[in-house]
Amino acid sequence: MPGLSITIKCVPFYELTLEELYTILALRQEVFIVEQNCPFLDADGKDQLALHLMITDEAGSLLAYTRLFEKSVYYDGYTSIGRVVTSPKARGTGVGKLLMEESIAKVLGSFEIAPIKIGAQKYLEKFYQSLGFRLTGNDYMEDGIPHTYMIFDKHLS
């Protein structure tokens, strides 16, 4: 990401500023609901249980975001990374890869060691495989979009 000055911040829900929460929700709605034409209830009651990892540019604009969960909060027996989203204006810059590398490192450093489970959109499986996630063979449809479960286990990567 030559020439791009960024800031990475990861905090629990109750440490988010109102402005951060607003920009997170706006980006999630822009991509998941509007861009992907997928009406669903994004506010699922799990934000309060997550760490929120944000990558912003020098102007404070949100470029990418994930939420991170301790073992068994989202998937029984697993830690998890979810709501993975990159702003349309930041795509192709490498921010998405950085987002996932930082998210994996934060999960491994913050929570009880357990494999990380994600529900990935099928078209992104090669991207996640390049980061060390492996397919489970469990595909599913969520809100009309093909998904697959993937696992990252630092002992197998």
Domains of the chain, first to last: 6-152 (3.40.630.30)
Name the CA dihedral angle for 118, 34, 85, 71, rounded to a multiple of 10 degrees. -30
Q: What is the per-residue pLDDT across 113-127, written as a single tens digit (0 to 9) for each?
A: 899 999 999 999 999
Pair of tokens at residue 37: 């034409």
Q: What is the model's pTM?
A: 0.93
Render pLDDT for 46-102 as a digit per residue (tens, 0 to 9): 999 999 999 999 999 999 999 999 999 999 999 999 999 999 999 999 999 999 999
Helices and strands in the chain: count of H runs, count of E runs: 3, 7
